[in-house]
A and B are shown apart, each in its own frame.
Chain A
Amino acid sequence: MIKSLRANHHILANTQEQLRILSEGMFADGELPTFEDKLSLINEYPLKPNSLEIFQVNVGYMCNQVCKHCHVDAGPDRKEIMTRDTMKMCIDIIRKANIKTLDLTGGAPEMNPDFRWFVEEANKAGVDEIIVRSNLTIILANPSYHDLPQFFKENKVRVISSLPFYQPDKTDRQRGKGVFEKSIKALQMLNEVGYGKEGTGLLMDLVYNPAGAFLPADQLQLERDFKKELKNHFDIDFNSLFTITNLPISRFLEFLLRTDNYDDYMEKLVNAFNPAAVKGVMCRNTLSVDYQGYLYDCDFNQMLGLKVQKAAGQHLRDFDINKLENREIKISQHCYGCTAGAGSSCQGTVA
């Protein structure tokens, strides 16, 4: 697959179709309990947020890669992009609501022409931390991006990057041919300016997600492996490794259905449901903003078109922290991905 589902006019580009699949089949006929059933059993339904800490802003779906598992269905053909006006609204809210962390994602967030402006303004607005979800290869994609490591450093950005494996094969199969080699170069460039090095305070974390229809390995064990292998072979240092579970939406859902893995995978997620992980699901302290300024419980709900509950105010314009903190989080069966095993969030395991 070299194009997004959207560009292929795939039926799963339609979020209603994804939601239909997620609610039908084994869940409709009672063979498997729905996520709502599971939450009810542990008195967590409806799922409610804690206080808001993280603003995860998706500044556009454009990306220089077309990874097989991408839950955003991002790619070079996606043109949706956040304008500076919408970013200004975000900055206002960051100031007013005293948001601690701004988490920038995409697509490749760096491809938004106002990306650097946004980072600088957010720093002025006084956030504690700015995270950029960088796919690494963007740094090498074009000379205008070569200085990104320096820019990140100057703005004390925390870099969190996907690297599915410490060997080329799995990485390239999931993210595209040659991605591993470029990612390694980019990591070395980040290391050069001090990222991932002790004492610099410049944090660089890696994200591992399974290259297929299985759950992630133990985070600590994998972190040890990654550290050893990347150091030995490429002299790369990094801070933490986060393992995340692939959620059954968008391109990963397409993969599951096409390869006849869907039923088994959902059953695996349901069986691995961990009540302790429910406490740490990221929708509880995070709010997701799309390129148009609409609000969602998380980036996954954004991609499914599930805006926050209407009464909470669905756009930056209507931002009201009290209403938002009292909302009910919208859930479906994809949420099982966040509560399987040790749990999964943008910051790795949660239980």
Chain B
Amino acid sequence: MEKTYYDPADLKKFGDVAEFGPELAKKFFDYYGDVFKEGALTAREKSLIALAVAHAIQCPYCIDAYTSDSLEKGVTDEQMMEAVHVTTAIRGGASLVHSVQMMNKSKKLSM
């Protein structure tokens, strides 16, 4: 049995997922490729968004991939860290904003 859940070498094998289902894989990778093309957002902005989302979903593969992609797009360390703080603010905020529900409920239940 494998001893770890994550292996950095698996990132390179991402394309191999086509082995178990080529048609959907192709659709996914075509879509993926198009998403990251320069559009109304620059490729650099998209890379930073991807980096922020990678932290939200805590995907180590994506964190690796989009850290180097961001560096290659000329993003600074400072900008990458700010992007992660945006993730953190939204994640933390998302939990915190639910406390309103908790407070509502508590107030309703309490005399």
Contacts and interface: CB of A to CB of B under 8 A. Distances in A.
B76 A214 contact: no
Contacts of B74: 217-218, 221-222, 225
Contact of B72 (A165, A215, A225, A267): A215
Interface in B41-55: 42-44
Contacts of A267: 12
B71 A212 contact: yes
B68 interface: yes
Interface string A123-167: 000000000000000000000000000000000000000000101
Interface residues of A, number: 15
Nearest to B8: A264
Given A210-B71, A214-B68, A214-B71, A167 B44 contact: no
Nearest to B69: A214
B72 A216 contact: yes
Contacts of B37: none
Nearest to B67: A214
A12 B9 CA distance: 28
Contacts of A221: 42, 44, 73-74
A217 B76 contact: no
Interface in B73-99: 73-74, 76-77
A260 to B, nearest CB: 11
A25 to B, nearest CB: 16
A214 B44 contact: no
A267 B42 CA distance: 26
A225 B76 CA distance: 12
Interface in A195-224: 210, 212, 214-218, 221-222
A170 B76 CA distance: 9
B72 A167 contact: no
A76 to B, nearest CB: 30
A216 B74 CA distance: 8
A169 B77 CA distance: 10
A173 to B, nearest CB: 10
Nearest to B73: A217
Contacts of A167: 76
Contacts of B76: 165, 167, 170
Nearest to A169: B77
A304 to B, nearest CB: 26
B105 to A, nearest CB: 49
* Residue among A170, A221, A222, A225 with the highest chain B CB neighbour number at 10 A: A221
A268 to B, nearest CB: 8
A240 to B, nearest CB: 16
Contacts of A217: 44, 72-74
A218 B42 CA distance: 12
A216 B72 CA distance: 5
A343 to B, nearest CB: 15
Contacts of B77: 169
B73 A218 contact: yes
Nearest to A222: B74
Contacts of A215: 72
A170 B44 CA distance: 19
Q: Which are the 8 A-B pairs with shortest beta-carbon distances?
A: A217-B74, A214-B71, A215-B72, A214-B72, A217-B73, A222-B74, A214-B68, A217-B72
Given A214-B71, A214-B72, 11 more contacts: A167-B76, A170-B76, A210-B71, A210-B72, A212-B71, A216-B72, A217-B44, A217-B73, A218-B74, A221-B42, A267-B12
14 contacts: A169-B77, A170-B76, A214-B68, A214-B72, A215-B72, A217-B73, A218-B43, A218-B73, A221-B42, A221-B44, A221-B74, A222-B74, A225-B74, A267-B12
